[in-house]
């Protein structure tokens, strides 16, 4: 028998002049080739059997298990997650042969776990290899799928290294399905033929995971998350509609890197387009680092023998200490439910287990520890066709907390971004209500009041008003080359408005309110941020980046419906006065007001407030003025410049 030791597409035929070590490896390899019947012959009743993960499931070996039931009596099956549509170890008719114990509940295991025919072990993804290596989880048998060996007898674990490598190293008996269609991945992904006790050669396509179409919700979430990914970031890119939507909206980024437990086809688009270069990574620079992948043949062809992609076990890839070595680390994870205090449930729907802890806790912690890291939880605002809010006053009884309220930073839905870290409960509640589905915001507000989480008089923008105009943003450069950003004010900006107020001088406050105002408590500040964006509209100028931006100016209008004129008012921080900000804000308010069909503006300005009067009189509009008791009453129409 002639054995070909293969390296990806290239082959090395062993001939008479081979090195003696290679000859020994070939002899060893040949001696361990056997039929599946013979390989299973050493499996004993009551064994603990590990099966390779995800798309690396050795399909031929698994399918043969029910064909040879005499070898599988009362065995316990372990795996991370399975993509096999109907694996025998979750089929009720084989419950006398198999009992599944899974570390993550995929679709194929969900019904079995719910029936009580399978077990779920909640554990951090980074700790599973340690569980095996320490012997706390002793494995009798490992069923894996690998590439043909190279010249040195090394087989690659291909698309799944995460826990498979620990299983090979620690199981008493290893059965390997040698499949030439398995892509040869690099990194810490190799096992030698001398680690394989039985070798079954079988050629078959690797399982493929076809991406699901993106929903409108996922598209919006992807857009918002992309705003939190700076150029040069290192990202954790998972699988599913939301991660794929995020990847779609990263196409305008530069020099992204990847450090992730898993990835799918969406990553390949960014890699091939040059968005992902890994050039600014601070850990494994130049490399895409992962533990496994789930995708299509296109993905498999891309990673095959590609030195840019390196695969490592999860006790390395998902170790928060290693994750944190990536500066600008952005971790993007999903959730099933989040309560108003920030507790994130990601593995169960109430008491019913749905998925698993996976790598979420590892990556949220790792990104939080990284320099300029950004941990993100992304989820649709509703479930079951909009009939259930995923943002809830209290978690459903039995729900498991995967990310604690102390760990959560950014939360993103299709309605925007909430930043919770370091915020008190009242601030968290309002931030999350602000990104909940509009039809559930009133209910959430009432429940929060019942729980004494927020002010008893707390309000929301009126029902029927416009949704927050997220797309309205501008920037302005002052004559001394300072840049200020502008956006529309939202209901969660109350504290920022108050901070600006207390930075003002007495004369600034007097000019703005035409009276001496010493304080701006909640009762007075709240009306300044509760807007409908139709009759009440306001913009802020700020410096810094969200969520730590600092307000340095505010401009607003209040529409009088009978006349269709809106009264405008401005506030500018003392350090930014005289820089043209007032004129810029007036210009932008006019643009928006004209779009909404407003006829013109009115304003009341103290006669001593010469700077503000100049803003109006130099605006280019035909401003009509009337002086009465030290106050100028100004009016101008937009169509008369």
User: Interior CA angle at 174 toward 171 and 179, to 5°?
Assistant: 140
Contact 109, 90 (CB under 8 A): yes
User: Hey, what are 425's tokens?
Assistant: 């409960």
What is the token pair recorded at 556?
């607003």
Q: Which residues neighbour 239 within 8 Å (Cβ) at sequence distance 6 or greater?
A: 209, 262, 263, 264, 294
Among 261, 337, 414, 494, the active-site one is 261
In sequence order, the β-bridge partners of residue 432 are none
Contact 389, 444 (CB under 8 A): yes
Question: How far apart, in whole angstroms, are the C-alpha atoms of residue 326 and residue 375?
Answer: 13
* Distance, CA of 306 to CA of 44 (rounded, Å): 39
Other beta carbons within 10 angstroms of residue 501's beta carbon come to 21
Q: Is the peptide bond between 62 and the residue preceding it cis, with omega within 30 degrees of 0?
A: no
Contacts of 469 (CB under 8 A, 6+ apart): 488, 533
Tokens of 635: 């009016």
Hey, what's the torsion of the CAs at 369, 373, 377, 378, to 10 degrees?
-160
Q: Is the dihedral of CA 610, 611, 612, 614 positive or negative?
A: positive
DSSP state string for 173-229: EEEEEE-TTS---EES-EEEGGG-SEEEE---PPP--PPPPPPHHHHHHHHHHHTT-
Respond yes or no: is residue 535 known to be catalytic.
no
CA 409 centroid distance within chain: 11
**DSSP-assigned letter for residue 160:** B
Instruction: Using DSSP bridges, classify how beta strands 410-413 and 416-419 pair: parallel, antiparallel or unpaired.
Output: antiparallel
Alpha-carbon distance of 168 to 155, in angstroms, equals 12
What are the DSSP E strand ranges found in 193-319? 198-201, 234-236, 257-258, 262-263, 288-290, 292-293, 309-311
Q: Which residues are catalytic?
A: 261
């Amino acid at each position: 028998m002639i054995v070909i030791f293969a390296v990806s597409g290239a082959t090395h035929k062993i001939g008479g002049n081979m090195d003696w070590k290679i000859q020994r490896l070939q002899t060893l390899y040949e001696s361990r080739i056997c039929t599946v019947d013979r390989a299973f012959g050493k499996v004993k009743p009551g064994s603990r059997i590990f099966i390779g993960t995800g798309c690396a499931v050795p399909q031929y070996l698994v399918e043969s298990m029910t064909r040879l039931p005499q070898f599988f009596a009362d065995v316990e099956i372990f795996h991370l997650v399975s993509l096999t549509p109907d694996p025998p170890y979750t089929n009720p008719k084989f419950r006398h042969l198999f009992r599944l114990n899974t570390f993550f509940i995929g679709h194929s295991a969900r019904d079995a776990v719910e029936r009580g025919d399978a077990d779920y072990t909640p554990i951090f993804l980074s700790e599973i290899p340690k569980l095996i290596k320490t012997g706390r989880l002793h494995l009798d048998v490992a069923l894996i799928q690998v590439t043909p060996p190279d010249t040195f007898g090394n087989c690659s674990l291909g698309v799944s290294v995460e826990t498979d490598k620990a299983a090979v190293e620690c199981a008493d008996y290893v059965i390997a399905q040698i499949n030439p269609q398995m892509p040869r991945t690099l990194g810490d992904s190799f096992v030698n033929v001398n680690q394989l006790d039985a070798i079954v050669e079988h050629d078959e396509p690797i399982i493929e995971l076809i991406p699901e179409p993106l929903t409108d919700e996922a598209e919006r979430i992807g857009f918002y998350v992309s705003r939190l990914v700076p150029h040069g970031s290192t990202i954790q890119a998972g699988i599913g509609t939301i991660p794929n939507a995020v990847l779609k909206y990263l196409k305008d980024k530069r020099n992204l890197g990847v450090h992730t437990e898993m990835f799918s086809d969406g990553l390949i688009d960014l890699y091939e387009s040059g968005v992902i270069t890994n050039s600014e990574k601070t850990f494994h620079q130049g490399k895409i680092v992962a533990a496994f992948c789930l995708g299509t043949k296109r993905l498999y062809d891309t990673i095959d023998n590609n030195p840019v992609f390196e695969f490592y076990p999860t006790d390395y890839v998902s170790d928060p200490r290693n994750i944190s070595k990536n500066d600008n680390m952005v971790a993007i994870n999903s959730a099933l439910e989040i309560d108003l205090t920030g507790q994130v449930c990601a593995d169960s729907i109430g008491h019913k287990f749905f998925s698993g802890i996976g790598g979420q806790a590892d990556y949220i912690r790792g990104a939080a520890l990284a320099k300029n890291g950004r941990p993100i939880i992304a989820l649709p605002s509703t479930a079951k066709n909009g009939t259930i809010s995923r943002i809830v006053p209290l978690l459903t009884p039995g729900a498991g907390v995967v990310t604690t309220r102390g760990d959560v930073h950014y939360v993103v839905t299709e309605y925007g971004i909430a930043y919770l870290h370091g915020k008190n409960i009242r601030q968290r509640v309002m931030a999350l209500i602000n990104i909940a589905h509009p039809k559930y915001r009133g209910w959430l507000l009432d429940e929060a009041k019942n729980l004494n989480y927020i002010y008893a008089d707390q309000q929301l923008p009126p029902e029927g008003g416009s949704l927050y105009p997220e797309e309205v943003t501008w920037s302005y450069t002052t004559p001394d080359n300072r840049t200020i950003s502008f956006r529309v004010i939202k209901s969660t900006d109350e504290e920022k408005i108050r901070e600006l107020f207390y930075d003002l001088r007495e004369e600034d406050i007097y000019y703005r309110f035409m009276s001496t105002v010493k304080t701006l408590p909640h009762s007075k500040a709240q009306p300044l941020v509760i807007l409908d964006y139709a009759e009440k509209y306001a913009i802020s100028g700020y410096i810094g980046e969200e969520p730590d931006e600092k307000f340095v100016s505010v401009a607003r209008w209040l529409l009088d419906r009978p006349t269709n004129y809106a009264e405008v008012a401005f506030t500018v921080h003392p350090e930014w006065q005289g820089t043209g900000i007032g004129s810029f804000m007036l210009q932008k308010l006019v643009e928006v007001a004209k779009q909404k069909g407003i006829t013109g503006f009115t304003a009341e300005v103290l006669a001593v407030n010469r700077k503000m009067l100049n803003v109006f009189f130099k605006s280019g509009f035909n401003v009509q003025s009337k002086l009465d008791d030290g106050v100028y009453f100004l009016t101008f129409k937009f169509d008369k410049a």
